[in-house]
Structure 1
Amino acid sequence: MKARLFVVALLAAGFAAMAVAQRPTDWPDVTQQQNYVLHRASSTDPTGANADFRRIEPGATLTALDVDGPGEVSHLWFTIASGEPYHLKRIVLRIYWDGEQSPSVETPIGDFFGLGLGEYYRWQSEMLSVGSDKSLNSFFPMPFRHHARITITNEGKQPVHSFYYNIDYRTYAHELPRDTLYFHAEYRQAQPNRGWTNKWTGNGDPLVNGKTNLDGKDNYVWMEAKGHGQYVGVTMSVLQNQDGWWGEGDDMFFVDDEKTPSIVGTGSEDYFLGAWGFSGGPFSYQLYGAPVVGGDVAGSRSSVYRFHLDSPIPFTKSFKATIEYGNANHRSDNFYSVAYWYQAEPHEAFPPLPPVEARLPALQDVGGPGNGAPAK
């Protein structure tokens, strides 16, 4: 009987450990008393009236959070009233940790929330979501030891009439563990990727289908980092300049100064955990999805995401996350992406953001199937 009870106890402990291991996000245990103090930075009307927003003039920067630590940002919520087209591309989100001069987060605000085509649509995941009436939400944990600052810059030509925000953050009476990693997010784009040829007729054309790419030299780069940390995911949007399926490219990850990638996938839709060119239509789940699925003709638009919360990809010296644009980089579509990772500070400065007008999605004259004069 004792032996049986021992086995049952071991099984129970094992299932409990599995439950903890499979929990997507490290939420606080609500059965235990928490020892942090919860705060909110918001756009509430300081007079107590109902003008609970901030106006941001062209070229101006709003500081939405400026607080001392130790602490952790647990939730971001924004919603924007602006009549300017593509304001999601023109407004820039930056986050600075511990007084750094080079931001750890720098991205057009729409792209940070997976809206890389500059238009609103609803989608949901464990870490990011866009709800009804254009509500932008992030649940990435963002710890900081000494200081946190979040800014919003209007790089557009028109005022942002109403910028609403609620930022929930905790402060702790104790120091953070010395090995705590900091949240980072970096925007990149290629408008367009430049395929090595436009003399192809389809993705199955032997000219491109037999081309090999073992070192990923010309791949589209989601992010590069120096130091130690772990990659946790990416959101990406695609505007096709050419006909056919855009996603024949393989994901490739280079860990700790590798010359050839140690992690290689089998196709773009496979990396984003779909299949067969997302032929079943749009979908969004907790860790992966394709909330926008276009057609197979020039001008089609798609948006996809993947979060590695089940197994972040660790690195100790350096890391580069990339993907092909077509097999062996033969296509010339536009890619817009934000990569998300955690690492120890300091981090390498990001490449400069493209000028605001260059960030606006536009078809490019690249030749190849279905490509005509660029649309403005």
Structure 2
Amino acid sequence: MTRSDHPSRAHAGLAALRPVRTRSISPENLDGAPGRGGRATEGTGAEAARDLGQGWKVSPSVDVKAGETFTLADIDSAGVITHVWITTHTDHWRRLVLRAYWDGSEAPAVEVPYGDFFANGWGVFAQVDSQMVASNPHGGFNSYWPMPFRESARLTLENSSDVDARVYYQVTYELGGDHSEDAYFHAQWRRSNPLPTATEHVLLEGIEGQGQYVGTYLAWEVHSNGWWGEGEIKFYLDDDQDFPTIAGTGTEDYFGGAWNFDIPGKGYTAFSTPYLGMPQVLRPDGLYLAQQRFGLYRWHVADPIHFTTGLPRVDIQALGWKSAGRYLPLRDDIASTAIFYLDRPATTRPEPPSFDAMEIHLGPGAGPHSPAGPAARP
């Protein structure tokens, strides 16, 4: 597999003949073996298929038990995951933790709340029309991040809550090819809730090795009146210590917008494009939702940020305005997902997301995070 054949460039070589095989893991074929799909005689759809029998959607989903971890995929040879589709009820989006392990590593390279990984961090659906992540009605989550591995891959889903979660999913991957020069896919989640005064929110720190930073998602809740996005994002590369190599000019600038994302007469305006967007603007409802909440993404696909020896730190400021044209440091709720490729399958990472750390706080009553009930699916 040459560099030009890499799945991230597949659009440029769809007609090329390559020595790989396509496989797919789902509840209908849990190990992805050839000719093993649709053979189930037991499963979550067995009752609905009782008049039809084997081959008729007998096992379309799995139940991830409360407090347990389910293995979505376990692959024991070289390859690359090319697509993940998954869905579950909105109540679970900040209660499930998605993890990925490469080449037998005991430490995960990916450890992110389910919804945040798919740019839906607030437990309320937002349409995302991007190249790497597509989130479609109502909660059909898709990832097109290429995830290569040289020996093995394992994806898991932990249910941190006391309620079972029914999950439908499909992991599509290629077997074969030479991945000896490919970096490993990583994603880390951190939350500042609230952010201490005059302190940057850290997205990454202490990363050693060669690689490239490729993506940011932020779920941001504003705790003050007025504009909240004057803060700069900074990338400390390689030997940077006191000052970074890359310093942005403002939060909305980094995510490709301008002038507060505010179209006169319309206010904050959601948008979603192939590489960047603010697909979610949640406004106060005058009852239980007191703060404005935003979801923003920036995929560095056309402009990856390369580092040679490490990524000491990536952080972002939270700044508004106060009197006399002075900046106001904010104490907002900021949850970040940082995505990067690295030359090793494991690296320094924060504490695993817990139920309490992920929780979305609401006042009494239902609100949008407690819909009437699960969708009527078998």
TM surpasses 0.5:
yes
Q: Secondary structure at the match of 2:195?
A: coil
- How big is each residue's C-alpha offset from its partner over 1:324-362, in whole Å with a ceiling of 9 and x where there is no partner? 111677100100111110011153231112431232123
1 CA distance for matches of 2:271 and 2:109?
Answer: 30
Instruction: Note if contact 1:92-1:108 (Cα within 8 Å) is conserved in structure 2.
Output: yes
Which amino acid is the alignment partner of residue 57 of structure 1? K
1: distance between equivalents of 2:82 and 2:345? 22
Cα 1:294–1:159, aligned 2, differ >3 Å: closer, same or farther? Answer: closer
Sort the Cα spacing of 1:293 and 1:133 in 2 relative to 1 into closer, same or farther, 3 A. Answer: closer
5+ residue gaps, structure 2: 29-37, 42-54, 264-268, 321-326, 364-378
Q: Which residue of 1 aligns with 2:63?
A: 55
* Aligned-pair identity (%): 34
- Aligned equivalents of 2:218, 2:65: Cα separation in 1: 29
Deviation at 1:222, TM superposition (A): 1.1
Q: 1:223 aligns with which of 204, 210, 215?
A: 204
Q: Does 1:40 align with 2:24?
A: yes
Q: Is the 8 A contact 2:148 2:184 kept in 1?
A: yes
| 1:267 alignment partner AA | G
Partner residue, 2:84:
76
Give the conservation status (yes or no) of the 8 Å contact 1:143–1:182. yes
Partner of 1:211: none
Q: Which amino acid aligns with 1:164?
A: Y
2:301 equivalent to 1:309: yes
- Residue 111 of structure 1: SS of its match in structure 2? helix
Q: 1:326 aligns with which of 312, 319, 327?
A: 319
1:194 is aligned with what amino acid?
A: P
Report if aligned partners of 1:193, 1:334 keep a CA contact under 8 Å in 2: yes
- Structure-1 separation of matches of 2:8 and 2:147: 13
Q: What aligned pairs does 1:164-175 form with structure 2 within 5 A after superposition?
A: 164-172=168-176, 174-175=177-178
- Residue 361 (structure 1) aligned with residue 360 (structure 2): yes
Whichever structure has more helix as a proportion of its residues is: 1
For 1:78-157, what aligned pairs fall within 5 Å after superposition? 78-81=86-89, 85=91, 87-157=92-162
- 1:239, 1:363 within 8 Å by CA — same for their partners in 2? no
| AA at the equivalent of 2:299 | F
Pair 1:346–1:74, CA change in 2 (3 A): closer
TM-superposed deviation, 1:118? 2.4
Instruction: Show the counterpart of 2:281.
Output: 293
Does 2:236 match 1:254?
Answer: yes
- Is the Cα contact below 8 Å between 1:195 and 1:329 reproduced in 2? no
Amino acid at match of 2:20: Y
Per-residue CA deviations over 1:77-97 (Å, capped at 9, x if unaligned) read 001147xx3x11110100000
Q: Verify the 8 A CA contact 2:223 2:333 in the aligned structure 1.
A: yes
1:116 and 1:337 in contact (8 A); partners too: no
Cα distance in structure 2, aligned partners of 1:253 and 1:42: 38
Partners of 1:164 and 1:187 in 2: CA distance: 23
Deviation at 1:229, TM superposition (A): 0.4
Aligned residues: 316
The aligned amino acid for 1:31 is: A
- Structure with max Cα Rg: 1
**TM-score, L = length of structure 1:** 0.79
Secondary structure of 1:194 counterpart: coil
Q: Partners in 2 of 1:292 and 1:184 — Cα distance?
A: 24
- Residues 243, 298 of structure 1: 8 Å contact kept: no
Residue type at the aligned position of 2:197: G
Whole-angstrom CA distance in 1 between matches of 2:328 and 2:309 = 27
Residues 133-212 of structure 1 aligned to structure 2 (within 5 Å): 133-160=138-165, 162-172=166-176, 174-176=177-179, 178-196=180-198
Per-residue deviation at 1:153?
A: 1.0
- The residue type equivalent to 1:240 in the other structure is V
Partner of residue 256, structure 2: 273
Which amino acid counterpart does residue 32 of structure 1 have in structure 2? A
